Structure 1
Amino acid sequence: MFPSFSYEMPTRVEFGRGVVRNVGHEVSALGSRVLILSDEGVRKAGLLDIVTGHLVEASVLYELFLDIEPNPKDHNVHRAAEAAGAFEADCLLAVGGGSPIDCAKGVAIVAAAGGRIRDYEGRFVPAVTPLPVIAIPTTAGTASELTFGAVITDTAEHFKFTVKSPALAPKVALADPEMTATMPRNLTAFTGMDALTHAIEAYTCRVATPFSDAPALVAMDLIGRFLRRAWQDGRDMEAREGMLLGSLLAGMAFSHSDVAAVHCLAEALGAMYDAPHGACNAIALPAVMAYSMEACVDRYADVARCLGLSFATTEEGARAAVREVQQMARDLELPSIAVFGVREEDFEIIAAKAEANLSNPDNPRVLTRADYVALLRILTGTV
């Protein structure tokens, strides 16, 4: 018997080398005054100059807002919403990784409807139409450019929360692999493993459907083939294309399934230490896979097939998938979570937040607080 499900993808995706040239046309179709949300890293890489050059050619009025931190904060959203109002922006353009894009989604509703971003926590139906968002990803990992949720940090409570509505999804995503070519090695590794996490968790979680399975399987194949290549040579454009496409497909998958324990742990760590979300996912993935494997042997064997592995039995395949992801982490020189200053005295607090995450029940093996503490001991080498 097949599961019941609902499928919706509000974002039009334009994929390919050079599609960023169309940004002026796309913005003009939605508004006449655009607030660009980005960050200093994107500016220093020269990517904003490319985008604004095309906007000038199309005679589009724009204003820049660059005060966006990794793990976007509530105050980033509120200040950007004020900037949007002062500029009388009728359209938002997010250029960057998940942080500027998630921030833009938050600004879209706060600038239009008022209030504080925490007022919209959870899934909601907006009373007014949010400002339209166009997204240009400069990383290949978060897939925020086509998802309809945003993860924001409440700075008072050190808590990450989600706002979610199809109305927040970008109207258009200009997914240009050339815009990802300047990523340094460590960011390529973290975002690439983030994308792999999305695909694996979407496929192995308890609420997977055929519509999430299909893109997840293709995403795993692409990431397995191209992540190491993109890390080794950032100017390998075939590898950059493969990774961006894999990231997009993984985003489609988890948007119509869920994530699971890796994200539960990563979001708790990110809120506690302001650690980069993709990095937390990347570092936690191998350990959580090993911990969850026995509850999802058949699907883990499918993961192994997608990663190009051969095996005789499904049990061997599941173990091979875990070993391959562990090897990938070593090949990409991923650090320990100790680099984020994780303290043993914080384990119980982190574990409690992870256990309370709404995605925890969807992990193949539902983890308890004690399980998360055990994982933290493994990840920090304090077993």
Structure 2
Amino acid sequence: MVASLSLPRILRVGRGAVGELGDVFTELGLCRPLLVTDAFLAGTGTAERLMATLRDAGLQPRLFAGTVPDPTTDSLDAGLTALREHGADSVIGFGGGSPMDTAKALGLLGVQGGQMRDYKAPRTNLGPALPVIAVPTTAGSGSEATQFTVITDSATDEKMLCPGPAFLPVAAVVDFELTLSMPPRLTADTGIDALTHAVEAYVSRKANPFSDGLALNAVRTIGRYLHRAHADGGDTEAREAMMLAATQAGIAFSNSSVALVHGMSRPVGAHFHVAHGLSNAMLFPAVTAFSVHAAESRYADCARALGAATDDDSDATAAEKFVEALRTLCQDLEVPTPQAHGIDKNEWFRLSPLMAEQALASGSPANNPVVPTADEIQDLYAQIYA
């Protein structure tokens, strides 16, 4: 099998990396970026400090702070206006997954035009697009290193997966100091999100030796450091490790794929406005239990990397221990069920058939060790509700 691999052209990783953002633009020959972020980072002054860094480097940036959680097609309109008014030659995604996904979408639409639904899977988007420079502030989505963006269609509430090299950032600046202010809930949800990326990349039908090494290393790191980062947000060793693991997991799944957890997670986020990392966490143990028998040795490798099993355990035993370890992890980090999160039971079950159809249409479930039917997906939604 020949694996087709794609990575950002420039990766700067480590404490203080964000201070070198101006140098990255110099290397790329760019000077008029649109800085795409959200109201929170603008309100704390973090975005303006980054704007000052860019201006000090001789660049001419413009700030757009209109990103919304789980960006929608409607939310892109104001960003496109800002992009065109500024005459931007590049886009910076600054924040969690939502600002980075928004930046990627703007980079493509700013050149090609059209509507985001024109670019959703199964289409593979090759470009052209404005260069995107990703600066993550959470340790979870891995979007700084992936060739995907996820945008919700405002007309249908479909959370659209849009893939292809056109969405791959040309550069990623990964500085763990930007994550030190993350609260425990966000630390937990994004950490489990990164773990989901790593595990799905490893058990995916599209896994390859390149993605395997990164995926298992991310699982190993998250197993060691997630609880520490959650317990003490100022633990710089844990924060640095989790930031690197999230990027490694992002590279892994960008070069293999995600699977059933993500396929089922996107409709939950679209219809019930559950944050992506949290919806993954809600689904992760049950979907793994459903899938584990079809890839025992792969899940066993994940169990050993996580620290949930030893080399003395058989693959079957290790795989089962992995399922239990995920359940325990979600309990330890107080991941709520959809019911506990406040989602109405009647709406959950009313929308389950549609969510199952949308999950299958995204293509991700086809990468799962067990390719589910729509009925099996509905059953999994029913299992996790309460």
Instruction: Please classify the TM superposition score into its range, dividing by the shorter chain length.
Output: over 0.9
After superposition, the C-alpha distances for 1:2-57 in whole angstroms (9 at most, x for unaligned) are x3322222442110000100112223444222211000122234421331231232
What is the alpha-carbon distance in structure 1 between the residues aligned to residue 142 and residue 62 of structure 2?
Answer: 25
Q: Could you tell me which residue of structure 1 aligns to residue 176 of structure 2?
A: 177
Q: Per the alignment, in what secondary structure is the counterpart of residue 14 of structure 1? A: strand
CA shift at 1:358, angstroms?
0.5
Which of residues 4, 8, 11 in structure 2 aligns to 1:13? Answer: 11
With 354-363 and 67-76 compared, the bigger mean Cα shift is at 354-363
Counterpart residue type for residue 180 of structure 1: T
CA shift at 1:182, angstroms?
1.0
Aligned CA distance change for structure 1 residues 357 and 170 (closer, same or farther; 3 Å): closer
CA shift at 1:115, angstroms?
2.2
What is the alpha-carbon distance in structure 2 between the residues aligned to residue 350 and residue 190 of structure 1?
Answer: 21
Which of residues 346, 355, 374 in structure 1 aligns to 2:351? Answer: 346
Counterpart residue type for residue 11 of structure 2: V
What is the alpha-carbon distance in structure 1 between the residues aligned to residue 234 and residue 45 of structure 2?
Answer: 16
Q: For this pair of structures, how many residues does the alignment match? A: 377
Q: Superposition pairs for residues 53-202 of structure 1, below 5 Å?
A: 53-121=52-120, 122-126=123-127, 129-202=128-201
What is the alpha-carbon distance in structure 2 between the residues aligned to residue 267 and residue 192 of structure 1?
Answer: 17
After superposition, the C-alpha distances for 1:295-320 in whole angstroms (9 at most, x for unaligned) are 11111111111011325211110011
Q: Could you tell me which residue of structure 1 aligns to residue 360 of structure 2?
A: 355
- On the 8 A contact 2:8/2:172 being kept in 1, the answer is no
Aligned CA distance change for structure 1 residues 103 and 54 (closer, same or farther; 3 Å): same
What is the alpha-carbon distance in structure 1 between the residues aligned to residue 296 and residue 7 of structure 2?
Answer: 30
Q: Per the alignment, in what secondary structure is the counterpart of residue 24 of structure 2? A: helix
Q: Could you tell me which residue of structure 2 aligns to residue 207 of structure 1?
A: 206
**What TM-score does the superposition give when structure 2 sets the normalisation length?**
0.94
Matched, 1:216 2:200: no
What is the alpha-carbon distance in structure 1 between the residues aligned to residue 322 and residue 190 of structure 2?
Answer: 19
Matched, 1:368 2:368: no
Counterpart residue type for residue 315 of structure 1: A
CA shift at 1:244, angstroms?
0.8
Counterpart residue type for residue 38 of structure 1: T
Aligned CA distance change for structure 1 residues 243 and 155 (closer, same or farther; 3 Å): same
Q: Per the alignment, in what secondary structure is the counterpart of residue 160 of structure 2? A: strand
What is the alpha-carbon distance in structure 2 between the residues aligned to residue 340 and residue 103 of structure 1?
Answer: 27
Aligned CA distance change for structure 1 residues 340 and 43 (closer, same or farther; 3 Å): farther
After superposition, the C-alpha distances for 1:138-188 in whole angstroms (9 at most, x for unaligned) are 011111111111111111011122222323321111100001111111111
Counterpart residue type for residue 20 of structure 1: V
Q: Could you tell me which residue of structure 2 aligns to residue 312 of structure 1?
A: 313
What is the alpha-carbon distance in structure 2 between the residues aligned to residue 302 and residue 320 of structure 1?
Answer: 11
- On the 8 A contact 2:51/2:63 being kept in 1, the answer is no
Q: 5+ residue gaps in structure 2?
A: none
Q: Per the alignment, in what secondary structure is the counterpart of residue 278 of structure 1? A: helix
After superposition, the C-alpha distances for 1:252-296 in whole angstroms (9 at most, x for unaligned) are 111111111100110111122222111111111111111111111
What is the alpha-carbon distance in structure 2 between the residues aligned to residue 203 and residue 231 of structure 1?
Answer: 25
After superposition, the C-alpha distances for 1:71-125 in whole angstroms (9 at most, x for unaligned) are 1111222321111101111121111011111111111111122222222233123
Q: Superposition pairs for residues 12-31 of structure 1, below 5 Å?
A: 12-28=10-26, 29-31=28-30
What is the alpha-carbon distance in structure 2 between the residues aligned to residue 348 and residue 145 of structure 1?
Answer: 33
Counterpart residue type for residue 88 of structure 2: A
Counterpart residue type for residue 21 of structure 1: G
Counterpart residue type for residue 343 of structure 2: G
Counterpart residue type for residue 142 of structure 1: S
CA shift at 1:340, angstroms?
5.4
Tell me the percent identity: 38
What is the alpha-carbon distance in structure 2 between the residues aligned to residue 85 and residue 40 of structure 1?
Answer: 21
CA shift at 1:132, angstroms?
1.3
Q: Per the alignment, in what secondary structure is the counterpart of residue 67 of structure 2? A: coil
Q: Per the alignment, in what secondary structure is the counterpart of residue 286 of structure 1? A: helix
Counterpart residue type for residue 96 of structure 2: G
- On the 8 A contact 1:78/1:107 being kept in 2, the answer is no
Counterpart residue type for residue 248 of structure 1: T
CA shift at 1:325, angstroms?
1.1
Q: Could you tell me which residue of structure 1 aligns to residue 326 of structure 2?
A: 325
Counterpart residue type for residue 22 of structure 2: G
Aligned CA distance change for structure 1 residues 286 and 72 (closer, same or farther; 3 Å): same
- On the 8 A contact 1:77/1:103 being kept in 2, the answer is yes
Counterpart residue type for residue 161 of structure 2: T
What is the alpha-carbon distance in structure 1 between the residues aligned to residue 372 and residue 167 of structure 2?
Answer: 31
Counterpart residue type for residue 157 of structure 1: T
- On the 8 A contact 2:160/2:362 being kept in 1, the answer is no
What is the alpha-carbon distance in structure 2 between the residues aligned to residue 91 and residue 313 of structure 1?
Answer: 51
User: Structure 1 stretches (4+) deviating beyond 6 angstroms?
Assistant: none
Q: Could you tell me which residue of structure 1 aligns to residue 260 of structure 2?
A: 261
CA shift at 1:366, angstroms?
1.2
What is the alpha-carbon distance in structure 2 between the residues aligned to residue 136 and residue 95 of structure 1?
Answer: 5
What is the alpha-carbon distance in structure 2 between the residues aligned to residue 337 and residue 197 of structure 1?
Answer: 18
Q: Per the alignment, in what secondary structure is the counterpart of residue 66 of structure 1? A: strand
Q: 5+ residue gaps in structure 1?
A: none
Cα RMSD between the aligned structures?
Answer: 1.5
